[in-house]
Structure 1
Amino acid sequence: MGNDESNADPNSETKSGGSMHRTQNQTQDPSEAVSHLQTKSSLCDADGLKDSLRTDVHSDTEDGHLKCPAGLILKQRYQVVSTLGAGASGKVMECVDGQKGERVAVKVVKKSDTLCAAALSEVSVLQEINSLDDDNRFACVRMLDWFQHEGHVCIVMELLGPSTFDFLRQNHFLPFSLQQIRLVAFQIFRAISFLHRNNLTHTDLKPENILLVGSEKTQTGPSCFNVKVVDFGSATFDHQHHETLVSTRHYRAPEVILGLGWNQSCDVWSLGCVLMEYYLGRTLFPSHDSKEHLAMMEKVLGPIPSGLLQRTRNQQFVKNQQLNWDELSSSNEFIRKHCQPLTTYMRTNSEEEQQLFDLLSCMLEYDVSRRITVEEAVWHRFFSPLRKLKQT
């Protein structure tokens, strides 16, 4: 589940009693639902559901999550098996599709105007992705169905394995090998390039939103590294309104922090941070606030161009056309301990490591006009072994 500032760990939910709760909801056009949401601001609130959807106040927890005990049946079709994960916006359940006899993942969104609207937007995006990629060539999660259950938007998707963040954690944050990084990155880059060609920016790329296709939890060989990108709740088309703040903090591009506006290249910056996290086994920028985050960038990548700083409306970031940062602060001690110039992270001086870090330096470029595109990144020489393999 997408979350701006924190990583939500999966956690199980249990409830006594084995009775099955059955309800029937008709699938509707998400654009119609969004329009209805705009005209009825309380559509997804418990108090307002009586205007449009049947409500059972006893089916929700105090914080708005739907209670999903094992055995609960949704849409008279999907029987809950277990909770796969939970976050601030909802939870993901493993269910059995009673019609097809297959296991699926059902994302159950909390009751909230904002979250409901984001979920309906995600439905529209996933429908578009399914339509544009009907051969399933690109590594984006497939939506199988969607419906509303007692005011909760529910999105049915293919069942995938653990996220790459969970994979790192389960392997005690052992860094990925270069071969693993190459395999994962090539799939992600092709998927995001597909999105960008179709005028869509993901805006929340991070290890938690990149899932293994298989369910292997401890396998470290590269054969298990087929992945898919998930969580399109914040995805934005080029023609749509661009929110000022996007991306989870650690993967947020400098132009977003400085409030300079953003475009598809913010995904490229996020992916650069993701690849470094795979390489290091830890977050590249373990920041706690925006100014500290910018100071970390300078430690790793060098000074932020004065032209960018001059354009920001947040002048607390700027002093004498430079980043306003106290080198004697306790936070600076933290930065010195956890951040160092990019190339000094290289484990060896091998040609393939040089290729990887050349790619990373092109992705972690302050100037949006000079930052590499995902389409260009796919053709970087770091991926030459995979292209040669496809030709044989």
Structure 2
Amino acid sequence: MISDLQEMIVTWTPRQAGYVETMSHQILLGLDFLHRSDIAHCDLQPGNMLVAVTDSINDTEAFLEPPQFSPVRWLEGVTKDGSAPEYLMPSQRRYNQLKEVQHFSLVVKIGDLGGAQFRTQCNERPVTPLSLRAPETINGSPWDWTIDIWALGCLIFEIATNEPLFPLCTFGIRREEVNKEHLELIEERLSDSTGQAGFAAYLAERLPDNFGAENVQHMAKFLLLMLRVNREERWCTKDLLQDAFAVNEH
């Protein structure tokens, strides 16, 4: 895989509707496969969404820098042993390789199942990044596979806008205060008296002008199917794949 969504979010501008639909559809297909296989991913974040181009998957060397071997140096007074490798090697990935690629040529795959749990268990604390946590995990309540659905809604918002849906300041702040701020942001974003219209307006302010008013409305509705505070009301991947925004018609 050539890149990940974290790099693409950091270095690019907000996306066109076709791009967001393509990404959403492919991530949903992967998550649907995991959930049907009784697996909750628990760590859906931009850095774990790997991206390549359809016709380049078998030609990965063209997207790599030559390897650079950096010898490991031991600090003076430290006894050398077998705990460290002889060399370290920085990433060979060339950045911005996908910036000009058309969205219909992109291939997205879900990586890093190190924090995954079986859907029927979900008895360990999930490794979900702070800003992508569902309300039940913020509160320390019982949780299940639907935390993936919540995280997916946050992830797609970030793919489209290059902004986190719930930006949190965590440096030097106690976890209790972070949790309080997070829940307040959720209340502010999702409990607007204007409902979908208010959320759509907030979304539209962060999208390019040519995203299209109709596409903004469809996307707002699509995201709100996932971003439901009551986990039992969140749509499953099978139903989300039937939604107009995720059908990937562009």
Q: TM-score, normalised by structure 1?
A: 0.46
Q: Does 1:290 align with 2:179?
A: yes
Structure 2 residue aligned with 1:358, among 216, 221, 225? Answer: 221
Question: Match for residue 190 of structure 2?
Answer: 301
Matching of residues 191-340 of structure 1 within 5 Å: 191-214=30-53, 215=63, 216-240=97-121, 242-287=123-168, 288=170, 289-302=178-191
Shift of 1:240: 3.8
Matching of residues 78-89 of structure 1 within 5 Å: none
Separation in structure 2 between the aligned mates of residue 245 and residue 164 of structure 1, nearest angstrom = 21
Partner deviation per Cα, 1:198-220 (whole Å, 9 max, x = no partner): 11000000111101124524225
Question: Match for residue 382 of structure 1?
Answer: 245
- Structure number with greater CO (CA < 8 Å, separation at least 6) is 2
Separation in structure 1 between the aligned mates of residue 129 and residue 105 of structure 2, nearest angstrom = 27
Partner deviation per Cα, 1:296-327 (whole Å, 9 max, x = no partner): 11110118xxxxxxxxxxxxxxxxxxxxxxxx
| Runs of 4+ more than 6 Å apart | none
CA contact (8 A) 1:246 1:256 kept: no
Question: Match for residue 372 of structure 1?
Answer: 235
Shift of 1:368: 0.9
Separation in structure 2 between the aligned mates of residue 246 and residue 375 of structure 1, nearest angstrom = 24
CA contact (8 A) 1:212 1:224 kept: no
Separation in structure 1 between the aligned mates of residue 149 and residue 43 of structure 2, nearest angstrom = 11
Q: Which has the larger radius of gyration?
A: 1
Partner deviation per Cα, 1:121-154 (whole Å, 9 max, x = no partner): xxxxxxxxxxxxxxxxxxxxxxxxxxxxxxxxxx
Separation in structure 2 between the aligned mates of residue 370 and residue 177 of structure 1, nearest angstrom = 29
Separation in structure 2 between the aligned mates of residue 383 and residue 238 of structure 1, nearest angstrom = 24
Shift of 1:245: 4.0
Shift of 1:281: 1.2
Separation in structure 2 between the aligned mates of residue 346 and residue 293 of structure 1, nearest angstrom = 18
Separation in structure 2 between the aligned mates of residue 245 and residue 385 of structure 1, nearest angstrom = 30
Question: Match for residue 177 of structure 1?
Answer: 16
SS of structure 2 residue aligned to 1:272: helix
Shift of 1:359: 0.8
Shift of 1:385: 4.9
Shift of 1:242: 1.9
Higher strand share: 1
Separation in structure 1 between the aligned mates of residue 127 and residue 248 of structure 2, nearest angstrom = 34
Partner deviation per Cα, 1:28-66 (whole Å, 9 max, x = no partner): xxxxxxxxxxxxxxxxxxxxxxxxxxxxxxxxxxxxxxx
Partner deviation per Cα, 1:327-358 (whole Å, 9 max, x = no partner): xxxxxxxxxxxxxx522224376222211110
Question: Match for residue 200 of structure 2?
Answer: 343
Q: Does 1:186 align with 2:25?
A: yes
CA contact (8 A) 1:182 1:383 kept: yes
Distance 1:213 1:367, change over 3 A: same
The code of the aligned residue for 1:265 comes to T
Separation in structure 1 between the aligned mates of residue 18 and residue 146 of structure 2, nearest angstrom = 25
Partner deviation per Cα, 1:46-96 (whole Å, 9 max, x = no partner): xxxxxxxxxxxxxxxxxxxxxxxxxxxxxxxxxxxxxxxxxxxxxxxxxxx
Indicate the percent of aligned positions where both proteins have the same amino acid: 28
Separation in structure 2 between the aligned mates of residue 211 and residue 219 of structure 1, nearest angstrom = 17
Q: TM-score, normalised by structure 2?
A: 0.70
Higher helix share: 2
Provide structure 2 residue ranges, at least 5 long, that are not aligned to the other structure: 54-62, 64-96, 171-177, 193-197
Partner deviation per Cα, 1:349-373 (whole Å, 9 max, x = no partner): 6222211110111110001111111
Shift of 1:221: 2.5
Separation in structure 2 between the aligned mates of residue 201 and residue 365 of structure 1, nearest angstrom = 18
Q: Does 1:163 align with 2:4?
A: yes
Aligned length: 189
The code of the aligned residue for 1:225 comes to L
